[in-house]
C-alpha cells in the first residue's frame, strides 16, 4: 500500500514544473517596455566656426650675414632691438681687409705710373714713325706696351674696388628698418661668409601664423578671419588667408597657414599670442546629442524607434564632426526619424520602448 501511494509523486513534480514555466513566460510577456527619452530628427540651419591660437610674424624676415670671414670685435644689436636701415649691427677685425686695400691702392698707383711711361713712349714712337726716324717694329712694341699698361690699370682698379668692398663688408649693417628677432653672433666668434648673424623682421606688413589641422580644409571657410589679441581681448583685427603651406608637418599633422592682418593694431607686436576664428557659411545639418551615439562594432550608430511597433533598431551613421555636447551626422539618418537620446545603453535590438508622447 505504501508503494502505491508514492507512485504519483514524479507526475506531480512534472505538473508543477510545467505550471511554473507557464508562470515565467507569463511574467516575461507582461514585462513593461523600457522608458527612454527620444527626439525627432530635424535639419538645423547651423553655422560652425573654429578658433586656433598662433602668433604675429613679420611678412618679410631677412637673414643678415657677413660677406667676408673674420673675428667679431664689436656687437651692437641684441634680440628685440629696433634698428633703422643702415644701422651698424656688428664689426669684424678689419686687419686683413685693410692690408689688402692698402696693397691694392699701391698697385693702382704703380699701374698709373706704368701707363704714363707707356703712353709717353708710344707718343714718341708715333712722332718718329711719322717722320721716318724709327722702325715699324719699335712702333708696334710701344703700342703693345701701351695696351698692356691700360689693361694693368683696369685690373688694378678692379682689385682696389674688390678690396674696398671687402673692407666695407667687415661692418654688418641693417638692410632695412625692423626688429632683431634672432642673434647668432658673439664677440670673439669667427664668422664665415654667409653664416647667419642676425634675423631681421622688417617693419611693415604683419601676418598671423597658425598651425591648422588638415581636416579644417574639408570645407572652405569665409574669406575674413577674426583675430584677437590673447592678452587683451578688446584688441581685434581682420585678416585674409595669404599663404597655405603645401606640405603637412609629419609630427603634428598640421598645415602652416599665414593670414595677412589688415591694418594691424599697434598692440599686435611681433611675437604676440593671438587667436584666429574662422567661420563657415550656415548649412542644413542633422545634429544629435552625444548621449544618442552608440556603436555597432567599430561603426558609430544610434537607436531608432519604429513608430508602428515602438521597437528599437541600431542604425549605423557617418559622423561629420564631434562638437561640444553634440554630434553632427553626415549620413545615416533622415529627417522625421525618432532617435533615442537617453536610456539607450541597456537596450537590445527589437526591444519595446516607451517615451513621452508615445503609447506605453
Identify the pLDDT of residue 13. 42
pLDDT attached to residue 303: 94
Q: What are phi and psi of 145, to 5 degrees?
A: -65, -35
From 86, 64, 90, 92, select the one nearest 77 (Cα to Cα): 90
Q: What is the per-residue pLDDT for 158?
A: 96
Domain ranges of the chain: 34-45+283-356, 51-58+205-279, 66-92+170-201, 94-169
DSSP string across 290-337: GGG-EEETTEEEEEEE-TTT-BEEEEE-EEEEEETTEEEEEES--TT-
The pLDDT value given to residue 14? 42
The architecture (CATH level 2) of 34-45+283-356 comes to Beta Barrel (2.40)
How many C-beta atoms lie closer than 10 Å to residue 56's C-beta?
Answer: 21
DSSP string computed for 244-259: E-SS--TTT-EEEEEE
pLDDT score for 9 = 45
Q: How far apart are CA 38 and CA 347, in angstroms?
A: 13
Q: What is the pLDDT of residue 69?
A: 94
Q: What order do you get walking across the sheet with 171-173 strand by strand?
A: 171-173, 88-92, 70-75, 190-191
**Is the separation of the CB atoms in 240 and 223 below 8 Å?**
yes
Q: Which CATH class is domain 66-92+170-201?
A: mainly beta
Per-residue model confidence as pLDDT tens digits over 281-315: 777 889 999 999 999 888 999 999 998 999 999 99
Give pLDDT, residue 283.
Answer: 78
Instruction: Specify the CATH class of 51-58+205-279 in words.
Output: mainly beta
Where the chain has pLDDT below 70, the residues are 1-31, 47, 215-220, 357-360
Long-range contacts of 155-162 (CB under 8 A, 24+ apart): 155/111, 156/104, 156/107, 156/108, 156/110, 156/111, 156/112, 157/108, 159/104, 159/107, 159/108, 160/101, 160/104, 160/105, 160/107, 160/108, 162/104
What is the CATH T-level fold of the domain 94-169, as seen in this structure?
Helix Hairpins (1.10.287)
Distance CA 180, CA 201 (A): 6
Query: Quick check: pTM over 0.75?
Result: no
CA distances for 207 relative to 259, 275, 316, 351, angstroms: 5, 13, 44, 58
Which residue from 128, 66, 108 is spatially nearest to 91, judged by alpha carbons? Answer: 66
Amino acid at each position: 500500500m505504501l508503494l502505491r501511494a508514492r507512485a504519483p509523486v514524479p507526475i506531480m513534480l512534472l505538473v508543477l514544473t510545467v505550471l511554473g514555466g507557464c508562470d515565467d513566460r507569463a511574467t516575461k510577456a507582461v514585462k513593461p517596455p523600457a522608458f527612454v527619452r527620444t527626439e525627432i530628427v530635424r535639419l538645423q540651419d547651423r553655422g560652425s566656426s573654429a578658433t586656433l591660437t598662433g602668433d604675429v610674424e613679420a611678412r618679410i624676415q631677412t637673414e643678415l650675414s657677413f660677406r667676408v670671414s673674420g673675428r667679431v670685435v664689436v656687437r651692437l644689436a641684441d634680440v628685440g632691438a629696433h634698428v633703422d636701415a643702415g644701422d651698424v649691427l656688428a664689426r669684424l677685425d678689419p686687419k686683413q681687409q685693410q692690408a689688402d686695400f692698402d696693397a691694392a691702392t699701391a698697385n693702382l698707383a704703380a699701374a698709373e705710373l706704368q701707363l704714363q711711361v707707356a703712353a709717353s713712349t708710344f707718343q714718341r714712337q708715333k712722332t718718329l714713325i711719322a717722320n721716318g726716324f724709327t722702325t715699324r717694329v719699335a712702333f708696334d712694341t710701344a703700342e703693345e706696351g701701351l695696351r698692356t699698361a691700360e689693361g694693368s690699370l683696369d685690373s688694378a682698379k678692379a682689385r682696389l674696388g674688390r678690396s674696398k668692398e671687402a673692407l666695407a663688408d667687415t661692418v654688418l649693417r641693417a638692410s632695412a628698418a625692423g626688429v632683431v628677432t634672432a642673434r647668432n653672433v658673439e664677440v670673439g666668434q669667427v664668422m664665415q661668409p654667409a653664416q647667419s648673424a642676425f634675423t631681421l623682421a622688417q617693419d611693415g606688413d604683419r601676418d598671423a601664423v597658425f598651425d591648422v589641422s588638415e581636416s579644417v580644409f574639408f570645407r572652405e571657410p569665409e574669406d575674413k578671419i577674426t583675430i584677437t589679441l590673447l592678452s587683451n581681448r578688446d584688441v581685434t583685427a581682420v585678416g585674409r588667408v595669404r599663404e597655405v603651406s603645401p606640405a603637412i608637418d609629419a609630427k603634428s599633422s598640421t598645415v602652416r597657414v599665414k593670414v595677412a592682418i589688415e591694418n594691424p593694431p599697434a598692440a599686435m607686436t611681433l611675437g604676440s599670442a593671438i587667436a584666429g576664428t574662422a567661420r563657415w557659411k550656415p548649412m542644413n545639418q542633422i545634429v544629435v546629442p552625444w548621449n544618442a551615439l552608440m556603436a555597432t562594432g567599430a561603426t558609430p550608430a544610434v537607436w531608432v524607434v519604429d513608430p508602428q511597433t515602438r521597437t528599437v533598431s541600431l542604425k549605423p551613421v557617418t559622423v561629420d564632426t564631434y562638437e561640444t555636447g553634440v554630434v553632427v551626422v553626415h549620413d545615416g539618418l533622415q529627417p522625421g526619424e525618432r532617435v533615442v537620446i537617453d536610456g539607450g545603453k541597456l537596450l537590445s535590438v527589437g526591444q519595446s520602448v516607451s517615451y513621452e508622447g508615445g503609447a506605453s
